[in-house]
Amino acid sequence: MTSATKPVLTGGCQCGAIRFAVAAPPVKVSICHCRMCQKASGAPFASFADIEHSDFAWTRGKPAAFRSSSIAERDFCAGCGTPLSFRRIDGPRIEIMTGAFDRPDRVIPTLQYGSESRLGWVVGIANLPSQTTLQNYGAEKLSGIVNHQHPDHD
C-alpha cells in the first residue's frame, strides 16, 4: 500500500498504539472454529478478513508477534493485548481479525473453517435472549462508565 492510496478500511487495537489501513476490499472474510483460533482470540471462534500484503499497511506502531505454529504467526498489541492478525509465514496475505476494524460491519464472513472444533452451542447464539448494553447496565451506571479504548477512527 502506498502513502497516496486512500484506505478502504482502517482499524487498530484497543489502546491505539497499533493502527492499520487497507487499500482494497478483502479477498475473503471467514470464521475459523479451530482450537488454535479459539485460544488465540479467547473466544469460541475467530473471524478474519484476508488482505493482500500489497493492499495492507501498519500506519501506527508495529505489533508484537507470536509464532503459534510451524506455519504461522499471530500479531497482537504488546501494550493492550488486542489480537490483530494471523499470517502464514511467507504467505501472500495477512488475515486481520474483523473485530479490529473500525467498521467491522463492513467485513461480513461468507465461509467457515475448522468446523471439527466448532462448539455445539455456537449454532444457537442468535436464538438466545438478548439485551442492549443500556438494558444490561441501566442509564445511570452506563453514563458513569469512562471508555479508555481508542475511538474507531484516527
73-115 tens-digit pLDDT: 999 999 999 999 999 999 999 999 999 999 999 999 999 999 9
Contact 154, 10 (CB under 8 A): yes
* Closest to 8 measured CA to CA, from 46, 57, 41: 57
What span, in angstroms and rounded, lies between the C-alpha atoms of 27 and 49?
7
Residue 129 carries which DSSP code? -
CA dist 127 → 57, 110, 112, 124 (Å): 38, 20, 20, 5
Per-residue pLDDT at 28 exceeds 60: yes
Domains detected in the chain? 9-122 (2.170.150.70)
Give the pLDDT score at 1.
60
The model carries a pTM of: 0.91
Give the pLDDT score at 40.
95
Give the pLDDT score at 6.
80
